[in-house]
Amino acid sequence: MLLVRRLRNTLLGCFRCNIMMVCLLVAFIITVGMVLVSEPVSTEELMGNFLSFSKMDLATKRDRPFYPSCVDTQDYLSNPLYAKQNASFVMLTRNEELRDVIKTIKSIEEHFNQWFHYPYVFLNDQPFTEDFKAKVRDVTTGSNVEFGTIDEIAWNFPSDVKDTFEFHNAIENQGDRSILYGSMESYHKMCRFYSGLFYKHPLVQKSEWYWRLEPDVEFFCDITYDPFWEMTRNDKKYGFTIVIPELYWTVPNLFRHTKSFVRKNDVTPGSLWKLFAKDYNVFESDDAELRDWINYDFDVKPKVSEKIAIEQLLKKGNESERINADKEGIMNLVNRARSKKHIVEDKFSNEEYNLCHFWSNFEIARLSVFDNEVYNNFFQFLEESGGFWNERWGDAPVHSIGLSLTLDLDDVHYFRDIGYRHSSIQHCPHNAMGGKEFPYVTSDPRFKRKKNAAYDKGRDFGSGCRCKCPKNKLDVEDTTGFCLNVWVDLINQERGRELRVETVNGNQIERNVREDYLKEFGN
């Protein structure tokens, strides 16, 4: 029943999506209608005709790709205004993942770092072997590489937790309920470490910026500019390339604890908060009970009408000559007596976590967005709640919600032009249409390409540089569009407007409904 209610709430919430989602729905209906009256088509052809985010221009004045296509990297690097940043790649891995680590390094070196030579930091809960170190250094192109071990306190849960029956029972219970990775104690440790401890490691602390990498990652496009420098000069603090919804059962109480932290510490979140929190303050009225009954726009008219009908019935008493006029009031009174107040179980102080999060296995950020008083206190609060082991909180939703406590939407950049894959999820942009296509010039012969290397054709609103996307696989922009839709909706609004909730004037509606009722049934 809980899952059914979650699905119902999600579907109801979709009724409040913006005009873009309405357009998507209309386009889909038209497309399906055309298919039904024509010859059969494949799923790929159908989706190709479907209006999708990947075919839209998502750039706004508030956020857009730093460059619409390739730049001449050599000219870029020789520009006297360019300044290499104090930044590094950071990867948490293990000795046995060497093959996948090398795969990632080769990809990021070929598509970016062979020109920019940013250093690497590799972290492990066990010492790296000499063989691992030698082979990793061998595939980098002259960049500094450091290897660090995570101390016991940072990697393991506190002894008063990890040695208890409750801890092991919680991990086992999550496995019994088939919660993704819930039965893996090491996964809980990794999520906890990345949620609030990775930026404390001495090797990571050396840098002002970090770019997170994972084993077994592919980059599909060339990055011919320096993301760290562009974020610096455009006053951006955090960058993402994928935003998707989280699995509900991994974080059922994360938002409840977050709201408790916000209230106890008198925190005023930034405008980024609106990307993750669904606001139920849709009805503005002096009637507190009526406000409590209404969670969605479509609740307004029926509930106000019900109130007026019952109110008029009680005023009239039981006058038999007025019984016909009171049928509506009696019906509504009986209905109110039989009904239960609709409770949104995950709504706290009229807000609910919409499950959206930045997929944190790719993120480029200033360390200061984590290493500050608010975020550090937030992590400590979550640590004391036990959610990193009692539930399976991922670092991605923790990062996202935690960042929204201090950041505004304008502090965040969508790296739409960076093609990226990890696990089964990928984002690969279209190449720019008619953009100036600078030739690929390698600085290392290991990354030499064929003279006539084929890249994807340019498309309208494309932003990629020399992208070659996997075929027969839909982009994440088109398969998990809800969260991206929220981002697009917010970033299209004027600065400051995204903080204002569009509410219905309940007092005015109540006056109108009362007036209509009295016209029909009299005083």
Instruction: Give the DSSP letter string of 113-129.
Output: IHHH---EEEEESSPPP
- Alpha-carbon gap, residue 68 to 373, rounded angstroms: 37
| Parallel/antiparallel/unpaired status of strands 277-279 and 351-353 | antiparallel
User: What is the identity of the amino acid at 325?
Assistant: A
Q: How far is CA 290 from CA 5, 16, 300, in A?
A: 22, 20, 9
For residue 353, the SS3 value is strand
- Alpha-carbon gap, residue 32 to 25, rounded angstroms: 11
User: What is the identity of the amino acid at 441?
Assistant: V
Positive or negative: CA dihedral 293, 299, 301, 302: negative
- Alpha-carbon gap, residue 169 to 99, rounded angstroms: 34
Q: How far is CA 440 from CA 37, 223, 227, 431, 457, in A?
A: 47, 11, 19, 14, 16
Q: How far is CA 376 from CA 200, 335, 343, 370, in A?
A: 10, 50, 33, 7
- Alpha-carbon gap, residue 198 to 217, rounded angstroms: 20
Provide the β-strand partners of residue 438.
none
Distance, CA of 205 to chain centre = 26
Q: Which of 328, 363, 498, 510 is catalytic?
A: 363
The answer to whether 338 touches 377, Cβ cutoff 8 Å, is no
Q: How far is CA 357 from CA 226, 399, 502, in A?
A: 25, 8, 23
Rg of the chain, C-alpha, whole Å = 27
DSSP 8-state symbol, 348: B
Provide the β-strand partners of residue 426.
421
For residue 139, the SS3 value is helix
- Alpha-carbon gap, residue 513 to 304, rounded angstroms: 7
- State yes or no: is 218 an active-site residue: no
Q: State which H helix or E strand residue 90 sits in.
A: strand 87-92
Helix (H) and strand (E) counts in the chain: 23, 18
Which residues are catalytic, by number? 363
